[in-house]
Amino acid sequence: MWPLLALVLIWHKRASSRAPFPSQRRTMNPDQRPVFGVGDASFQAAGGEAGLQRLVADFYRVMDEAPEAANVRAMYPADVSEAADRLASFLCGWLGGPKRYAEKYGAISIPQFHTRWPVGEAERDAWLFCMEQAIARQPYSPDFSEYLLRQLRVPAERIRQVQAACPARPGQN
């Protein structure tokens, strides 16, 4: 009887200590290394909102300076301040921090939002090049840098896939 009761109590304690959603779980593993993608570990590894603003500023700086990014830079207005705010706000929530994009701009479907621009492999690769260079300029750990770029490849590719399936042209929504 006691062993069964002990097992039930142990199970109950473990089950009740688990948060029902991944974002509510602890962000550290037993080795005390961040588990990126869980809770706000990625947001913290990026330096919080200030760190994301630096990343985005470097991203647009690379886009302005790199010849490899000319095709993507041409899609933006001369003043990229609104685009930079939108990207930093999106990354903030996407990485587990406050949902700044939703607070400021409402809900977003990344692939649908980008249908107003023609995005193929060249544009996807140029955008990822800018992000890779911007990430390299940050004081991120090598593990987080690799994780972040790998995660950013997913929506970048999804945007391209949606474009290939139903391309829209500038001026269409």
The per-residue pLDDT for range 148-169, each reduced to its tens digit, is 999 999 999 999 999 888 755 5
- Full domain range(s) for residue 99: 40-165
90 belongs to a structural domain = yes
pLDDT at 123 over 60: yes
What is the CATH number for 63? 1.10.490.10
End-to-end alpha-carbon separation of the chain, Å? Answer: 67
Counting the structural domains of the chain, the total is 1
**pLDDT (tens digit, 9 = 90+) per residue, 33-82?**
889 999 999 999 999 999 999 999 999 999 999 999 999 999 999 999 99
144 belongs to a structural domain = yes
145 belongs to a structural domain = yes
2 belongs to a structural domain = no
9 belongs to a structural domain = no
11 belongs to a structural domain = no
Cα→Cα distances 80→13, 15, 18, 73, 109, Å: 51, 48, 42, 10, 21
pLDDT of res. 58 = 98
Predicted confidence band of residue 30 (pLDDT cuts 50, 70, 90): low
3-class DSSP assignment, residue 89: helix
Higher pLDDT, 109 or 23: 109
pLDDT of res. 169 = 53
147 belongs to a structural domain = yes
pLDDT average, residue stretch 82-111: 96
Cα→Cα distances 66→72, 73, 133, 143, 147, Å: 11, 9, 10, 25, 23
